[in-house]
Amino acid sequence: MISKNKIKQKGQIYLMLSPNLILFFTLSVYPIIWVIRFMFYQYGGPGTGEPIFIGLDNFRRIFTKDPIFWKSVINTLVYAGGKILLVLPLAFFAAMMLTKKNLKGVGAFRAILFMPTILSSAVMALVFYLLFNAYNGEINKYLMTLNIIDQPINWLSAKNAMKVIVITSVWGGIGNYMIYFIAGLQGISNEVYESADIEGANFTQKLFCITIPMLGPVLKMIMMIAIVTAFQDMSSIMVMTEGGPINSTMVMFLYAYQFFFPISPGSLVSTQFGYGASVSFVSACIVGIITIAFLRFSRKLDEIY
Amino acid sequence: MERFYMEKAFVTILKVLSWLLLISLFVFTLYPVIYTLLGSLKTNAELTLGKSILPEDPQWVNYIKAFKDANFFQYGLNSLIVSSATMAIAVLTSSLSGYVLARYKFAGKKLMLSTYQAMMFVTIGPVALYPIMNMLSKIGMEKSMLSLILVLTGGQITNVFLVMGFVQRLPRELDEAATIDGCSIFRVYGQIILPLTKPILGVVALFTFRNTWNDYITSLILTMSNRKLTTLTVAVVQLKYSVWAAAEWHIMLAGASLAIIPVLSVYIFTNKQFMSGLMEGAVKG
């Protein structure tokens, strides 16, 4: 009798897990298996003939004959580096300012800084695209009214576009990381600061000897999230510059994407599914390597403290 | 004595500077949104040539144009249906999995947990949408709204872990007693776990709704073969590629406002839940 119940229970367990498991396998696992299979093929898509097995040729092409891919890797590093170096200090600063006990309306201030997080990055990228427009954009209008520049700056040129992309992503990212930092700061007990005050520690001493070391584990997690997210960002780039001009804002995953889908309705796609699969595989590996390297590095930091 | 005054002056300057920086952060954060909302009421000429941030004479006609000519009513409705359905399915499936993982032992549990954990760090980007689309068209579902909803729901690793963590922190006695009394797992889930996990399910619902409403790439690709399903976010961004884009900034901003106003109004009432939900994930995740 008991065993019968047990079997029934097992059945129910798997039944309850199944909706999520099915979604997980078809939407998360299956595409990866597909990519791993097709990265060994030359395949132009339906109607272009059967996929041809070509072994490691796609990888040979990536590592020896594809400067645009490597440019996109550099761009991704520049983008992620720029975003993280601006977002994290600003978010930390905002969190420090907005955890003060005696500050009235703290909730509303936090809510304002967190607001960009709830808005569509694609829609807001369109707005930033208009703001930074060379001829009619508000930014140039302000700079010219204030006599800072006499000629409109072409913000979305090959030289400047990446800066604008980073600014847009910083705008969208501060609130999120501010909340993570606030969560971390609230975890540090007040007594520590009180005893430091009694000892006569000043602000900088408290910051470097209490706040930052005690944030340790949270800080590690925040940086981890920041890295993984920044390497994946692409929808705002897609909307603002489509990776251009002349690939100056092309990032890895956008580069892989354009072998499958058009970046904008007008743009041409040369569907190369096999090659695209290997590009996305290599990109995924690069993100993986950087994540693991960061984890190793942060473990070293733990040992020092 | 002199040193004391210098230190005091230094601290004051630092305080003033940090407040200035904080205020500039507020301006930086608010400006693009205010520009969008106010700009949606300007004429195109005012937007491109005018200098004032306020509209001269509010052009409500922009919204009428967006609704009528650009078909935004339909797209808004699509967004609302798709986001609500995705939210419901996400809450249901992640809570089922999260509960079972938190409370029961079963063959393959370790494998499942470690696969989910590993997949949090594996990303191949939106390229994944190609095999998914391919599979959907093989079974003739590439044009259905259900496909869009299910793909947007996705594997939900984070949500499953959020619910799992929450259930693990509930006292076991609450549901164990019911199980011993002979309640089926389904009943324990429906009558005990669901009501108790409301706070975390609210977080899952809120974040799923936001992600779905705001999503661009997945929705773009899944609606390519059936334009009738186009969501608001996709429709707004596509205005950039319309032939009249240069002359239609006012319609673009009216569209952008339509896309952000619903989320903003929800946010006014739920910002605390949004922020505490994120903290929940940050501290315990």
pLDDT for A305: 57
Interchain CB contact of A130 with B (< 8 Å): yes
A124 chain-B contacts, CB cut-off 8 A = 32, 256, 260
- Own/partner long-range contacts of B68-75 (Cβ < 8 Å, ≥24 apart): B69/B251, B70/B235, B70/B239, B70/B251, B70/B255, B71/B235, B72/B232, B72/B235, B72/B255, B72/B258, B74/B228, B75/B230, B75/B231, B75/B232, B75/B234, B75/B235
- Tell me whether residue A215 is in a domain: yes
More confident residue, B69 or A281: A281
Q: How far apart (Å, rounded) are the C-alpha atoms in residues B118 and B99? A: 20
We report the CATH number of the domain holding residue A240 as 1.10.3720.10
In tens, the pLDDT along B164-173 reads 999 999 888 8
Cβ(A187)–Cβ(A218) under 8 Å? Answer: yes
pLDDT for B285: 46
A272 chain-B contacts, CB cut-off 8 A = none
A113/B25 touch (CB, cutoff 8 Å), yes or no:
yes
Interchain CB contact of B141 with A (< 8 Å): no
Distance from CA of A265 to the nearest CA of B (A): 7
Is the pLDDT score of A301 beyond 80?
Answer: no
A120/B271 touch (CB, cutoff 8 Å), yes or no:
no
B275 chain-A contacts, CB cut-off 8 A = 110-111, 114, 179
- Tell me whether residue A50 is in a domain: no
Is the pLDDT score of A2 beyond 70?
Answer: no
B260/A131 touch (CB, cutoff 8 Å), yes or no:
no
Q: At what angle do helices A212-232 and B249-284 cross, to 10 degrees?
A: 140
pLDDT for B244: 74
* Alpha helices per DSSP H over chain A: 2-24, 30-38, 57-65, 67-97, 106-114, 121-131, 138-145, 161-186, 190-199, 203-206, 212-232, 235-240, 252-257, 273-304
Is the pLDDT score of A302 beyond 60?
Answer: yes
- Tell me whether residue A62 is in a domain: no
- Tell me whether residue A124 is in a domain: yes
A129 chain-B contacts, CB cut-off 8 A = 240
Interchain CB contact of A87 with B (< 8 Å): no
Interchain CB contact of B32 with A (< 8 Å): yes
Q: Which domain holds residue A259?
A: 69-304
Instruction: Report which DSSP code applies to B54.
Output: S
B29/A90 touch (CB, cutoff 8 Å), yes or no:
no
- Own/partner long-range contacts of A56-64 (Cβ < 8 Å, ≥24 apart): A58/A274, A58/A275, A58/A277, A58/A278, A59/A278, A59/A282, A61/A275, A62/A278, A62/A279, A62/A282
Q: How far apart (Å, rounded) are the C-alpha atoms in residues B129 and B123? A: 12
Query: Chain A, 201-240: which have a CB under 8 Å from a chain B CB?
Result: 203, 218, 221-222, 228, 231-232, 234-235, 238-239
pLDDT for B54: 86
- Tell me whether residue A53 is in a domain: no
Q: What is the mean pLDDT of chain A?
A: 89
Q: What percentage of chain A has pLDDT greater than the value 90? A: 54
B240 chain-A contacts, CB cut-off 8 A = 126, 129, 239
Is the pLDDT score of A255 beyond 90?
Answer: yes
pLDDT for A103: 76
Q: How far apart (Å, rounded) are the C-alpha atoms in residues A212 and B103? A: 37
Q: What is the mean pLDDT of each run of 10 residues along chain B (285 residues)?
A: 76 89 95 94 84 83 84 92 97 95 92 92 89 92 93 93 92 80 83 90 92 94 91 92 80 92 91 84 56
pLDDT for A193: 82
Interchain CB contact of B275 with A (< 8 Å): yes
Q: How far apart (Å, rounded) are the C-alpha atoms in residues B199 and A83? A: 32
Interchain CB contact of A48 with B (< 8 Å): no
In tens, the pLDDT along A123-174 reads 999 999 999 998 888 898 889 888 888 888 899 999 999 999 999 999 999 9
Q: What is the mean pLDDT of chain B?
A: 89
In tens, the pLDDT along A77-126 reads 999 999 999 999 999 999 999 987 667 888 899 999 999 999 999 999 99
- Tell me whether residue A130 is in a domain: yes
pTM of the model: 0.91
What is the predicted ipTM? 0.91
Cis peptide upstream of residue B126 (ω within 30 degrees of 0): no
pLDDT for B279: 81
Average pLDDT over residues A15-28: 95
Which phi and psi (to 5°) does residue A52 adopt?
A: -110, 130
What is the number of structural domains in chain A? 1
Name the residue in chain B with its Cα closest to that of A221: B282
Interface test with B, best of A15, A26, A118, A275 (most B CBs within 10 A): A118
In tens, the pLDDT along A194-243 reads 888 888 777 778 888 888 888 878 888 899 889 989 999 999 999 999 98
Q: How far apart (Å, rounded) are the C-alpha atoms in residues A23 and B208? A: 15
- Helix H or strand E segment including B194: helix B194-196
CA atoms within 13 A on the CB side of A21: 15
Q: How far apart (Å, rounded) are the C-alpha atoms in residues B20 and B138? A: 58
- Tell me whether residue A219 is in a domain: yes
Bridge partners, A52 (sequence order): A42
Name the residue in chain A with its Cα closest to that of B115: A29
Which of A229, A258, A273 is CA-nearest to residue A76?
Answer: A229
- Helix H or strand E segment including A52: strand A52-53
Q: What percentage of chain A has pLDDT greater than the value 70? A: 96
Q: How far is CA B120 from CA B5, B20, B283, in A?
A: 53, 39, 17
A141/B51 touch (CB, cutoff 8 Å), yes or no:
yes
Q: What's the CA angle centered on A24, arms A18 and A26, to 5 degrees?
A: 100
- Tell me whether residue A265 is in a domain: yes
pLDDT for B283: 56
b (16+ CB within 10 A) / e for A67-77: eebebbbebbb
Name the residue in chain A with its Cα closest to that of B253: A127
Cβ(A135)–Cβ(A152) under 8 Å? Answer: yes
